[in-house]
Chain A
Amino acid sequence: EDQVTQSPEALRLQEGESSSLNCSYTVSGLRGLFWYRQDPGKGPEFLFTLYSAGEEKEKERLKATLTKKESFLHITAPKPEDSATYLCAVDSGGSNYKLTFGKGTLLTVNP
C-alpha cells in the first residue's frame, strides 16, 4: 500500500525566513510525485511534477527536489502570500493514474 507522510504538520515562518517542507513516500514503483498548494476554501492548485531521483523544479520562490525516498519543497525568502497548505501526492503506476495524497503542511508566513 502506498504511503505518503508530510512533515511538519504546520510551519510558521517570518517573512524572508527560508525553510523546507518534507514529503516521505513508500511506493512499489514511483511514476510521479506531485506538489500542490491549497488556499482555504479552494481546490488544490498544481505546482510541480517530479519523475525521477535527482530531478528539481522551480517556480518563483519554490523549488522541489526528489530523492528515492522523499521530496523537499524549499521556500526561499517567503512572503505572506505564500501562506497556504502544501500537499504532496504520489502516482505509483497502474493504468488508472490514481494519486495517494499526504495530509499536508500548513505554512503560515508572518509579515
Chain B
Amino acid sequence: DAGITQSPRHKVTETGTPVTLRCHQTENHRYMYWYRQDPGHGLRLIHYSYGVKDTDKGEVSDGYSVSRSKTEDFLLTLESATSSQTSVYFCAVEGAGNEQFFGPGTRLTVL
C-alpha cells in the first residue's frame, strides 16, 4: 500500500468553515498528489508536490491550497468549504516506474 495514510477518513463540515486533510507517507517518495473523485468525472488532480515546499496546481485547484513542510506530509486545505467540494479525496505518491499509489481516501461532506 506504499505506506500511505489519510486523515480524517470521514468528515462532515459546514459551508464556510476551513478544512485540512492530511496525507502521510512513510517511504520517502518525492512526488505526492491530491485528487478528488466525483461521479461522472473520475479522478481529477487538484495539486501536486515535487519536493518539500515545492508545489504546483492541477486541473481543479480553485478553492484549494496545499503545503508540504516535510517529505512525509502533504496537506490539502479548503480555506472556506463549499458544497461543491463535497467529494472523496485521494492522496497518491509516485512509484519507481512512474505509476502512482493511492491512499484509502477521505470522504468529505460539506453541508
In contact, B105 and A42 (Cβ under 8 angstroms) = yes
In contact, A49 and B103 (Cβ under 8 angstroms) = no
Q: Mask for A40-67, Cβ within 8 A of B = 1, else 0?
A: 0111111001000000000000000000
In contact, B100 and A46 (Cβ under 8 angstroms) = yes
Q: Mask for A20-49, Cβ within 8 A of B = 1, else 0?
A: 000000000001101010000111111001
Give chain B interface residues in 43-77, CB to chain A under 8 Å.
43-45, 48, 50, 56, 58
Chain B interface helix/strand/loop/mixed: strand
In contact, A31 and B98 (Cβ under 8 angstroms) = yes
Instruction: Select from chain A the residue with minimum beta-carbon distance to B35.
Output: A101
Chain A interface helix/strand/loop/mixed: loop
In contact, B56 and A96 (Cβ under 8 angstroms) = yes
In contact, B50 and A46 (Cβ under 8 angstroms) = no
Chain B interface: which size bin? 20 to 34
In contact, A43 and B104 (Cβ under 8 angstroms) = yes
- B-chain residues with CB within 8 Å of residue A87 when the two chains form the complex: 42-43
Q: Mask for B74-111, Cβ within 8 A of A = 1, else 0?
A: 00000000000000001010110111111111000000
Given known A-B contacts A44-B90, A49-B97, A98-B45, A103 and B40 have beta carbons under 8 A apart? yes
Instruction: Select from chain B the residue with minimum beta-carbon distance to A99.
Output: B100
In contact, B42 and A103 (Cβ under 8 angstroms) = yes
Of the candidates A36, A44, A89, A97, the one whose C-beta lies within 8 Å of that of B31 is A97
User: B43 → chain A, closest Cβ, in Å?
Assistant: 4
- B-chain residues with CB within 8 Å of residue A42 when the two chains form the complex: 104-105
- A-chain residues with CB within 8 Å of residue B45 when the two chains form the complex: 98-99
Instruction: Select from chain B the residue with minimum beta-carbon distance to A4.
Output: B42
Task: Show 20 residue pairs from A and B whose CB-CB distance is below 8 angstroms, ordered by the A residue.
Answer: A31-B98, A32-B97, A32-B99, A34-B99, A34-B100, A36-B102, A45-B102, A46-B95, A46-B100, A46-B101, A46-B102, A49-B99, A95-B50, A96-B31, A98-B33, A99-B45, A101-B42, A103-B40, A103-B41, A104-B42
Given contacts A34-B99, A97-B98, 9 further A-B contacts (CB under 8 A): A32-B98, A36-B102, A87-B43, A96-B48, A97-B31, A98-B45, A102-B42, A103-B40, A103-B42
